[in-house]
Chains A and B, each alone.
Chain A
Amino acid sequence: MSHTNFGPIDWAITGALLVGITLAGVWFNRLARTVETFIIAGRKVRGYLGVASIIASEMGLVTVMYAAQKGFTGGFSAFHIALVAGIAALLVGLTGFIVIPLRKAGVMTIPEFYEKRFGRGARVLGGAILAFSGILNMGMYLKADSLFITALTGMESAVHLRLAMTIMLGLVLVYTALGGMISVLVTDYLQFVIMAVVLVGVSILLMLKIPWNDLAAGVRTLRGEAGFNPLAEEGFGAGYVVWMFFLGLISCAVWQTAAIRASSAEDTAAVRKTFTWGSIGFVIRFMVPYFWGICALVWIASRPEMSAIFLDKGASPETTLKAMPTALASILPTGVLGLLMAGMLAAAMSTYNTYLHAWSSVLTQDVFGAILGERLAQRGRITLARVFMLLIGVFLLVWGLWYPLGEDLWDYMAVTGAIYFTGAFAVLAAGLYWRRASRVGAYASMACGFAALTGLKPVQNLIGVQWRSEYVGLATVALAIVAMAAGSFLAPDAPPAEPERTQ
């Protein structure tokens, strides 16, 4: 077992946070009385609360883990991902690309827009693809989170770990299912405050322990020029940078959990403020964990017993994932570790509640609600959303924690997300900005998203190719755009019938 400074005080801080946030979430459940309040908080969310909520929910513990791993393996050049994500969010905020027309359309979910523009079938298909992609994507969160908790606390018993994660997910389920968007916003706000203190505080402590010049020298020795230059082909390369920019655009304009912030906003000015100021959050959510990963790299390299494990050429992705929490457990003192755990659990919970809420809303409103129509009453919809939350929660436990997945988690997550967002980008952009976009084009474009599956290594092995995932992703986006254009030109929608004249 590796050394850890995590002690009883840290457990007490962690427990207090879990209880406090859950009580706050449950307390506000009494306000969720209508579907609109449950799903989009009655469209009364103002700008600053929107910024807090979007930063809290888009920075999960899983983000911290994968980003820290990128910093550990890629060095400072990983910072480019944070930079292009921030630029993309700023562009969305300043121009209102997709999010403003979406807000003006008055929809609660993205598939609801599909129905307005392309008909009910597009909504059901789009909703089903979105939920399928999103729930599979979310299925890996508990896995990454459990690695963080194990490494930080030194907890070795798998049973204890599974129990702890089950309890945490159970608490989130209780307040999200009861309170809907109101509880999500209240708890997101609290979680934002805790996370902000932890992100800035831990970073300052790390800077005091390992000065910048030592970090730069360490990265130069261990990673060479590729540790600084993102365009170096032995590192990330230009194709990867372009792919990251596109992902940045997607994560704030097309991904349902971010786009729902536009739907919940009080007006278009609040939408612009949320995304413009949120862009700093989009930079920070990656850059801070990259920095922690780089600190872990340099710290571990100076300790032969640790570098033999983590810097070995054959080290598995699971090992490098644990590098950051393992290093921090040694670097940070008792008490600070409790705050770090509290901040990261806050990050995890705010992501879980948002995603549980988002995917259950999509299934309720866009798949079953669209099929059943008026036969599904308001109370029935809220009950159905709660049932879906419970089912998704059960799936998360089985798939992410109890089921031993044998493939690379990052590839799995990127591909599952791309099934939805590659097609959705073309459908949304064309649907909002191109009058000739047709129903057939939308269906073809959505179907193209499944081409992203070829980014998975097992699928590549099956068809005997070796493609870099960024090229597969960009090619799928291009394919979806071409499919939208071709479908719209070849099979345009019938013009609306002339209204009958009355004498």
Chain B
Amino acid sequence: MITWETVWKFLWYGGLGLFAVLAVVITIRGWKDLKHLLRSVHDERPPAR
């Protein structure tokens, strides 16, 4: 029988594990996105006189 404790145990281990994996992915891909953003914003600046 599924009890509330089983539900929370599944949510805890599943959620924490998923977050750990996601955090690694976001760290790597987010770094690329950040470089893209900074490059784009930098390129948009008016040329220095």
Chain A residues closer than 8 Å to B20, beta-carbon distance: 196, 200
In the complex, are the beta carbons of B32 and A48 less than 8 A apart?
Answer: yes
Chain A residues closer than 8 Å to B3, beta-carbon distance: 228
Q: A3 contacts the other chain (Cβ, under 8 Å)?
A: no
In the complex, are the beta carbons of A283 and B30 less than 8 A apart?
Answer: no
User: A28 to B35, alpha carbons, bound, how many Å?
Assistant: 12
Number of interface residues of A (CB under 8 A): 46
Contact with A along B1-29 (1 / 0, CB 8 A): 00111001101100110111011011101
Give the contacts of A369-419 with B (CB-CB under 8 A). Answer: none
User: A229 to B6, alpha carbons, bound, how many Å?
Assistant: 11
In the complex, are the beta carbons of B37 and A46 less than 8 A apart?
Answer: yes
Distance of B28 from chain A, by nearest CB (Å): 8
In the complex, are the beta carbons of B26 and A192 less than 8 A apart?
Answer: yes
In the complex, are the beta carbons of A48 and B33 less than 8 A apart?
Answer: yes
User: A48 to B23, alpha carbons, bound, how many Å?
Assistant: 10
Nearest residue in B to A284 (C-beta to C-beta)?
A: B19
User: A42 to B33, alpha carbons, bound, how many Å?
Assistant: 14
In the complex, are the beta carbons of B36 and A277 less than 8 A apart?
Answer: no
User: A45 to B40, alpha carbons, bound, how many Å?
Assistant: 10
Interface size class of B (residues with CB under 8 A): 20 to 34
- Assuming the contacts A52-B26, A228-B4, asked whether A44 and B12 have C-beta atoms less than 8 A apart, the reply is no
Nearest residue in A to B40 (C-beta to C-beta)?
A: A44
Partner of A41, one of B23, B31, B37, B46: B37
User: A185 to B15, alpha carbons, bound, how many Å?
Assistant: 25
User: A413 to B15, alpha carbons, bound, how many Å?
Assistant: 27
Chain B residues closer than 8 Å to A77, beta-carbon distance: 4
- Assuming the contacts A31-B38, A200-B23, A281-B19, asked whether A228 and B33 have C-beta atoms less than 8 A apart, the reply is no
Q: A33 contacts the other chain (Cβ, under 8 Å)?
A: yes
Distance of A89 from chain B, by nearest CB (Å): 13
Distance of B32 from chain A, by nearest CB (Å): 7
Partner of B33, one of A45, A55, A229, A287: A45
Chain A residues closer than 8 Å to B40, beta-carbon distance: 42, 44
Partner of A42, one of B15, B25, B41: B41
User: A436 to B8, alpha carbons, bound, how many Å?
Assistant: 44
Contact with B along A18-54 (1 / 0, CB 8 A): 0000000000100101000100011011111111100
Distance of B2 from chain A, by nearest CB (Å): 12
Q: A478 contacts the other chain (Cβ, under 8 Å)?
A: no
Give the contacts of A446-481 with B (CB-CB under 8 A). Answer: none
Contact with B along A42-85 (1 / 0, CB 8 A): 10111111111001000000000000000000001101001100
Give the contacts of A179-204 with B (CB-CB under 8 A). Answer: 182, 185-186, 189, 192-193, 196-197, 199-200, 203
- Assuming the contacts A44-B36, A83-B11, A280-B15, asked whether A196 and B41 have C-beta atoms less than 8 A apart, the reply is no
In the complex, are the beta carbons of A79 and B33 less than 8 A apart?
Answer: no
Nearest residue in B to A47 (C-beta to C-beta)?
A: B33
In the complex, are the beta carbons of A79 and B45 less than 8 A apart?
Answer: no
In the complex, are the beta carbons of A203 and B4 less than 8 A apart?
Answer: no
Chain A residues closer than 8 Å to B44, beta-carbon distance: 37, 42
In the complex, are the beta carbons of A48 and B37 less than 8 A apart?
Answer: no
Partner of B16, one of A55, A203, A229: A203
Q: A216 contacts the other chain (Cβ, under 8 Å)?
A: yes
Distance of B27 from chain A, by nearest CB (Å): 5
In the complex, are the beta carbons of B23 and A196 less than 8 A apart?
Answer: yes
Chain B residues closer than 8 Å to A230, beta-carbon distance: 4
In the complex, are the beta carbons of A182 and B41 less than 8 A apart?
Answer: yes
Q: Which 10 A-B pairs have the closest CB atoms?
A: A49-B33, A196-B23, A48-B29, A228-B4, A46-B33, A52-B30, A48-B30, A76-B8, A284-B19, A79-B8
* Chain A contact residues, CB within 8 Å of chain B: 28, 31, 33, 37, 41-42, 44-52, 55, 76-77, 79, 82-83, 86, 182, 185-186, 189, 192-193, 196-197, 199-200, 203, 212, 216, 228-230, 277, 280-281, 283-284, 287-288, 291
Q: Can you list 23 A-B contacts (CB < 8 A)? A: A31-B38, A31-B41, A31-B42, A45-B37, A48-B25, A49-B30, A49-B33, A55-B26, A79-B11, A79-B12, A192-B23, A192-B27, A196-B20, A196-B23, A199-B19, A200-B23, A212-B9, A229-B4, A230-B4, A280-B22, A283-B11, A284-B15, A287-B11
- Starting from the known contacts A76-B5, A77-B4, A228-B4, 5 additional A-B residue pairs (CB-CB under 8 Å) come to A48-B30, A196-B19, A196-B26, A277-B22, A281-B22
